[in-house]
Chains A and B, each alone.
Chain A
Amino acid sequence: MGTFAETPGTTAIGVKPRRAPWLKRIAWRILGAIFVLWAAATFTFFVQELLPGSKATLILNQEHGTQQTYNAAQLKPVEEKYGFDEPVTTQYFEYIKGLAHGDLGDSYQQHKPVLTIIGEQVGPTLVLTVTALILAWVFALTTILLTSRRKKVISTLGSGWEIFSAGLPYYWLGVILLVVFSIELKIFPVQGGTSIEGLVLPALTLAIPLAGFIGQVTRDEFEKVLDQPFVTSARARGMGDFAVRVKHVLRHAVLPAVTLSGWALGALISGAVIVETVFARPGIGQMIVTAASNRDVPLVSGVVMLVAFIYVIANILVDIAYAIIDPRLRA
């Protein structure tokens, strides 16, 4: 197999560019997105429905701080209040109907609309994850450009660092950064909150392992492309090494990692669960854990919908990035 055959997205399209009209492509995209959201909502609803134990019991115990069972008479008012006395199918259709109207329901725990709760919390998490993604790319590309196919020692150091950093656990890395840079050196605040200084360490904690991963994927591709005939011919035309690397090689080599970035954004959100705790940062990470451990069904569903939505958007952005990087895709 040739090098490019392995590069995602270029196999079929490279041979015969698709010429689907813009409108049709957009329509398909939107339909796909709706389908993803519906499937995520349905899946979440039924998984939570299948968990053992009654939701009414859970709500009563949480409110009273107990862990007991209740008799039918005690459960009845709660079941009526939340509609648990309806058949599951009715509850499901009510839920989907609400979603279609943009109503995610009210949290069982906080007694306010899920949309409001998420709206209050999602901002800091998005800032954190997007910053981490950008930092990860900067780190990964810098390492690759400087160390790939250099002297043996340098290349080995570069790829060794990538392997090492990709395996770093968030909690460990976060605590180390916190102890060194906040508690000992006092460069950054311990409780960062949403300030700019407070963003640095949490974003680094998420970015370092991801940079290692992007680096690993890109380095393979980068080294293969360096051997391509067009690279040799560019050099033969007298192009400088750095220019060759940036202009010709990098453009081809980043495609797989661009694909991964769509995934990474979602994965960073689960990393945010840990990072937000360590750095006492607001965001949806903590909210996800609380909602799941309290089995706050509307809130859990809301978060899953949000993450599904972020995946959809991220994948659209990846498509656009592809079209920009690989001109053959600009149909």
Chain B
Amino acid sequence: MNRQDKNLSSSSTHPRTPRRATLSGIAAAMALTLALVLSACGGGSSATGAAGGASGTNSGNVAGAEAATVSDNTGTPKQGGTINYAHEQETPCLTGGWVQEAFIERQYADELVSQTKTGKIVPWLATSWDTSKDGLTWTFHLKPGVKFTNGEPLDAKAVVKNFEYWSDPSNGNGVAPFLHNYYKSSKAINPTTVQVTLSKPYSPLLSSISQGYDGILAPATYAKGAEAICNEPIGSGPWIIDKWTHGQNITFSRNPNYNSAPSNALHQGPAYAEKLIWSYVADPTTRYGSLTTGQSNVIYDVPAPDWAAAQENYEVQQYITPGRPVTLDLNTNQGPFAELPVREAFAYGADRKAAVESAFEGKVPYNGNGALSQSTPMQDPSLEETWPYNPEKAEQLLDQAGWKVGSGGIREKDGKQLNIKLVYGAGSLITTEGATVLEDLQSQWKEVGFNVELKPATLTQLFSGEYAAPDKYDATIGYWTSPSPAVLLIVWKPWNSKTEPNGNNQSFYNSDKLVSLIEKGNSSADPAEQKKNYFAAQQIVTKEQAAVVGVYVQETSLAVEKNLHDVWLEASQGEPVFSDAYFGNEG
């Protein structure tokens, strides 16, 4: 959008008269509109990407870092101080269905339960819970005496109000896709008892409601409507939102009456630090610079080029996000990938592992299992090595399938070239490093005879459903974070159902057998039974069908200055937690 020189020089050749000024004003406005529209339509400039926001996602489990950090033996932690945290992306709202919104919500709201890094669910606002024999009725017993920061009691009625909001499909939130198909109703039995009724048993219920999206908000917030829910939500969490200066930061002060930390927190009671300033610093150089100059105490997403240096000078934490990793979806419905051997050849045809290691400079691990990321509970690790780099095998499969080498090394069949259109969310779902991986793979695929066209798509294009039909691409790439294998059902429900089309099924692969395996896993109370079914489902989509091909994991990283202790990333989603953090004695 750097149009200054062009505008200036064009005006300098036209002497100005009052009337032309009017016209030039219009032209200027038009030029600006066009620039905006173009920036929304074409290609991923860094600015557009920064504004985009990691979307398409819910949340995850495991690999959290509570209690993994330094514990000083200097007695009680020091009180006070301001934690300056430089985050990357600003969200349009402080609640919602994006992982970035869950990060924020974790600061000012509490959830019913919390997930530990081993995948265990522990008490939070709910001190205990029981399940009926048929698995359909869940009773949550709430911690008494908890208040929202506006003074309202956090009781059973308030929790019911939250469940009702989440389950209304017209409200955007990160819980809905998990509860959908399973949630039926909820009611307050008495002020500290909530009963949730499901239509089918759902074992991932607890992990689903341990994510940051599921913060319990005050009934007053819901009563005020969309503007309040978006801009001034009220919870019962360790931090109170003081002020949101758009484009700059959110200032939080500690909740002096905080009495509802999760049981896996490092301490109970109000946060140690006085204030938390959550700034938005989209540019990686600036963000890292703000840490090295001491302006920030903690930064989000350590830039890959600074990864090694950061390990030496700061406490670096990384959370490998569970759920669906960054995965190639191959269009099983039409085009060349409708044939299984072509999909297999594609999976064999490029060295994904090496491409990931080189592009991310060792920061982000490769994830070969395209169904679930390595940190997801019940992920089948044997599928990591299903499709090793094997160009000979790829060529052999293509030969057998009748795709012969044609002009320029591109294979052909029935007079048609083996063209693959690969659509990716440039600058949003797929970062610059991710795009480098794709370019690397593109040249290797070419050697075995695939002509891969990389088609960058803006967030607007993705959100407007422009690439949501089987005739729009041969392959696409994306992720969906989730604390449990429950994400399998979200992704693999049939895409072409008349009553309920599932746009998340981006391979357009429909199988009743697959869905029934996942549903069995979701509904079983027995971990062995769950594992058996989830493993079988992963086998189908990654190995038998090669409908998805894994590339790398989604992750969250923090670099923390060494004088600030006990910042941690929670386990459901990788949300940063600052309420246990305190400053040491240096400086």
Contacts and interface: CB of A to CB of B under 8 A. Distances in A.
A175 to B, nearest CB: 6
Interface size class of B (residues with CB under 8 A): 35 or more
B16 interface: yes
A105 interface: no
Contacts of B283: 175, 277-278, 280
A271 B28 CA distance: 14
Contact of B34 (A47, A179, A277): A47
A110 interface: yes
Contacts of A274: 1-2, 47
A40 B461 contact: no
B86 A294 contact: no
A117 B246 contact: yes
Given A54-B465, A121-B247, A183-B289, A63 B96 contact: yes
Nearest to A48: B37
B528 interface: no
Interface residues of A, number: 109
A242 interface: no
Interface string B276-294: 0001111101110110110
A150 interface: no
A51 interface: yes
Nearest to B464: A53
B464 A64 contact: no
Interface in B33-55: 33-37, 39-41, 46-48, 50-52, 55
A226 B467 CA distance: 62
Interface centre among B21, B56, B285 (most CB of A within 10 A): B21
B468 A68 contact: yes
Interface stretch (B224-232, B377-385, B395-403, B533-541): B224-232
Given A260-B8, A267-B8, A294-B463, A65 B33 contact: no
25 contacts: A8-B16, A48-B37, A51-B37, A55-B464, A63-B171, A63-B172, A65-B56, A65-B96, A121-B246, A170-B2, A259-B11, A270-B2, A280-B86, A280-B283, A281-B247, A289-B39, A290-B90, A291-B36, A292-B39, A293-B39, A293-B40, A295-B464, A308-B29, A318-B16, A319-B21
B461 A311 contact: no
Interface stretch (B69-77, B193-201, B362-370, B500-508): B500-508
Contact of A191 (B33, B230, B296, B463): B296
B33 A280 contact: no
A58 interface: yes
A109 to B, nearest CB: 4
A289 B47 contact: yes
Nearest to A63: B172
Given A65-B55, A209-B4, A282-B248, A191 B279 contact: yes
A38 B528 CA distance: 67
A313 to B, nearest CB: 10
B247 A65 contact: no
Most buried by A among B40, B86, B93, B231: B40
A61 B465 contact: yes
Contact of B47 (A74, A109, A268, A273): A273
A166 interface: yes
Given A63-B172, A289-B47, 18 more contacts: A32-B19, A35-B26, A40-B33, A43-B26, A52-B464, A57-B465, A74-B169, A107-B92, A111-B230, A189-B295, A190-B286, A263-B7, A273-B47, A276-B247, A280-B248, A293-B52, A294-B460, A300-B33
Nearest to B428: A293
A69 B39 contact: no
A111 to B, nearest CB: 4
A98 interface: no
Contacts of B460: 51, 53, 58, 292-295
Contact of A277 (B18, B47, B425): B47
Contact of B2 (A53, A169, A217, A263): A169
Contacts of A268: 4
B4 A273 contact: no
Contacts of A190: 286, 289-290, 293, 295
B189 interface: no
A170 B45 CA distance: 14
Given A292-B39, A293-B48, A308 B282 contact: no
A252 to B, nearest CB: 15
A307 interface: yes
B145 interface: no
B3 A289 contact: no
B248 A193 contact: yes
Contacts of A283: 247
Contact of A304 (B12, B33, B227, B459): B33
A62 B459 CA distance: 9
A170 B567 CA distance: 36
Nearest to A167: B5
Contacts of B235: none
Contact of B28 (A12, A117, A213, A266): A266
A65 B98 contact: yes
B380 to A, nearest CB: 26
A222 interface: no
Interface of B: 1-5, 7-8, 11-12, 15-19, 21-22, 24-26, 28-30, 32-37, 39-41, 46-48, 50-52, 55-58, 86, 90, 92-93, 96-99, 169-174, 176-177, 226-227, 229-231, 245-249, 279-283, 285-287, 289-290, 292-293, 295-296, 425, 458-469, 478, 501-504
Contacts of A209: 4-5
Nearest to A262: B21
Given A110-B92, A191-B86, A289-B48, A178 B231 contact: no
A307 B32 contact: yes
Interface centre among A179, A183, A186 (most CB of B within 10 A): A183
Contacts of A91: none
A270 B4 contact: yes
Contacts of B99: 65
Contacts of A36: 22, 25-26, 29
A71 interface: yes
A137 interface: no
Interface string A94-131: 00000000000001011110000100110010000000
A143 interface: no
A186 B500 CA distance: 57
Nearest to A189: B295
Contacts of A111: 93, 226-227, 229-231
Nearest to A11: B15
Given A178-B285, A260-B12, A289-B51, A110 B247 contact: no
Given A110-B231, A282-B246, A292-B37, A308 B28 contact: yes
A65 B11 contact: no
A270 B247 contact: no
A210 interface: yes
A39 B286 CA distance: 39
Contacts of B458: 293
A179 B286 CA distance: 8
The residue among B5, B16, B35, B289 with the most chain A CB atoms within 10 A of its own CB is B16
Given A36-B22, A43-B33, A169-B2, A67 B465 contact: yes
B26 A39 contact: yes
A56 B247 CA distance: 26
A312 B22 CA distance: 8
Nearest to B461: A53
Contacts of B177: 64
A147 interface: no
Contacts of A280: 86, 248, 279-283, 286-287, 290
B286 A293 contact: no
Which of A63, A65, A270 is most buried by chain B, counting CB atoms within 10 A of its CB? Answer: A65
Contacts of A267: 3-4, 7-8
A288 interface: yes
